[in-house]
A and B are shown apart, each in its own frame.
Chain A
């Protein structure tokens, strides 16, 4: 039953017709020697959205982002950023924080921020002024004149993040922005991403941590094995999975059992109570409850839980991809 449901899910979601698209990609393919890294990806990111690219390591997230930014060119397919085929044509409107953070070690903090701004067309003097302001605002005023090599890893990451935003981009792309950050800084980054979106910027980030995507994103692209089996809103992804029913009954059998799906999972506890887990039937909760009561099932408790993004990911991308996602999370944590 779920297989059929997920097969239906593989049809790409149409982008929201209301907002113009900041990024649009169709049929992107990238091969590295004999390896197909990205295999026909379609993505549509509306302007002003917080968009997550969700998948395990090696799924093709970074390659996809690099193609969208023009760092590498796709072997097949088209990409448009603010309607431009060549992303470098709108480089001033974009900010990018790669997964592998790096700055020139001998540069001072404000110079590093100004240089990153200059790469995006911000005059150096203006960049330096804004850099100093940003450093002050983020509690790093004392480090303005310090060289990058004199900073801690976390402080250097903050400097690079500020450099990504110093030219006030309309589109901000983060590749695994939460990796390497402690819980406090992860929280700060989440706030920053929300603030950016509130100010009108489009934010797209890749992650292997479902909770970040679930908390932040309006839309997600689930990517696994170089393909995107789902792209659309988080709500729609969750709604694709039927709500899960958790039922506790006093009796283990009776005519009421007909109201439960045949593949409902059954746990019998020592105290005599019975637990049942199954997707909510299409007839709805009321019909189910009526059948249980009329059949004298001895209902002790019944809860209906809306599917989470993790469930959606498992259903959409498969158990193997979900395992890989969990492994990636573990590796990162270690």
Chain B
């Protein structure tokens, strides 16, 4: 009847693999995962729409149209002067729209014209009418244009030869900080987007009442590990799909490669470390989420818990981002040592610093923290969750149990 197995138990890795394989495939082929993949499209679409509307509103709200209410000759001279010096001053000169001379206030009040200000009078004595902010903005430029039109201040621009460089030594660090910030932001967004999936994972297991079967067959540490790695695998699939989508979009739009300055360790190593730190950030946060999710008994509890957890994520990100401004400080060291902020702080370091060994050390430390949190979560789960029967009832029964006995028949 019974099988003769080569060994009486699965190794921790084998056990975790059984869980990871099931979870990975179940999530990957679920309808929910398809919608999850589409998830980033919604904020992007909303963001694009909001940006487009905002830009339109901004364009409507801020205009550089200035009505030129002068005699036709004067208007022509002013316009010619503006055209002569405008290109050299990059937006500092307003767009003049010649209009029939008249009351400036009436011109400003014309519906649909949208003039920021009105210049009347003559080039020798221009008169600017408009709101205070517009007067401050255009006063100097109009004086310069009028002087040019009058021939009183012929502006002659000396030829300047130019040479574009990618980077200067002096600016290298400040440029790389941009790369570090971008890396941290991307890491944060991805972990934020993906780690939430873990939170409800064990609640579903409990709802399905599978958890007791898993716990009876394999150690809870292996269950937790399997679930974490399944979710990590799923997140890599998500990133691959989103990355491919973003790449295709950029290619289709003829966009150039990143304009970000190269990180200190070079792009290939920086990207490799980015993947490693994403995995660690995800596993660390996932282990924490899994523990919290395991202790919650309903989806509602998970939702309640998700808010402080999201706040914690934000705090960790802010800590790492702030530490970026103080390299070599105790604050940076703290951000590197604190497990949850460590991947963010170290990714920034990869952008700024050329040393590799701290990354090996940091990855080992983060891995150790993942194991520790997972084990602690599994222990807590066994202690707090796997109870049976209502405590009150068992207590009542216990106190009701008599010490003397009597037969029913006797």
A residues lining the B interface (CB < 8 Å): 2-3, 6, 32-37, 56-60, 62-63, 66, 69-73, 82, 84, 88-94, 96, 98-107, 115-116, 118-122, 167-170, 196, 199-201, 224-226, 241, 244, 263, 265, 277-279, 310-311, 314-322, 324
Q: Are B402 and A32 in contact (CB under 8 A)?
A: no
A265's contact among B210, B212, B410, by CB below 8 Å, is which?
B410
Residues in A neighbouring B394, C-beta threshold 8 A: 35, 37, 58-60, 226
Give, as a whole number of angstroms, the nearest-CB distance from A63 to chain B.
Answer: 5
A200, B3: Cα distance in complex, Å:
12
Q: Are A93 and B8 in contact (CB under 8 A)?
A: yes
Residues in B neighbouring A310, C-beta threshold 8 A: 408
For B397, give the chain A residue with the smallest CB separation.
Answer: A58
- What's the dominant secondary structure at chain B's contact region? loop
Q: Are B388 and A63 in contact (CB under 8 A)?
A: yes
Interface status of B2 (Cβ within 8 A of chain A): yes
Interface status of B300 (Cβ within 8 A of chain A): no
B208's contact among A60, A91, A103, A115, by CB below 8 Å, is which?
A103
Q: Are B398 and A226 in contact (CB under 8 A)?
A: yes
B1's contact among A107, A196, A265, A311, by CB below 8 Å, is which?
A196
Q: State the interface size on chain B (CB cutoff 8 A).
A: 50
A278, B407: Cα distance in complex, Å:
11
- Residues from 4 to 29 in B contacting A, C-beta threshold 8 Å: 5, 7-10, 14-15, 18, 22, 26
A92's contact among B7, B402, B404, by CB below 8 Å, is which?
B7
Binary interface encoding of chain B residues 145-167 relative to chain A, with 1 for a CB under 8 A from any of its CBs, else 0: 00000000000000000000000
Q: Are B406 and A3 in contact (CB under 8 A)?
A: yes
Interface status of B382 (Cβ within 8 A of chain A): yes
Would A73 and B218 be within 8 Å (CB), given that A62-B388, A100-B212 are in contact?
no
Binary interface encoding of chain B residues 199-210 relative to chain A, with 1 for a CB under 8 A from any of its CBs, else 0: 000000000111
Q: Are B401 and A88 in contact (CB under 8 A)?
A: no
A278, B398: Cα distance in complex, Å:
31
Give, as a whole number of angstroms, the nearest-CB distance from A3 to chain B.
Answer: 6
Residues in A neighbouring B402, C-beta threshold 8 A: 318-320
Q: Are A104 and B5 in contact (CB under 8 A)?
A: no
Can you sample 27 A-B contacts with CB below 8 Å? A2-B405, A2-B406, A34-B395, A35-B395, A35-B398, A37-B391, A37-B394, A63-B387, A66-B212, A71-B215, A72-B386, A73-B382, A91-B217, A91-B218, A92-B5, A92-B8, A102-B209, A102-B210, A118-B18, A119-B15, A168-B2, A224-B397, A224-B401, A244-B409, A263-B410, A311-B407, A314-B407
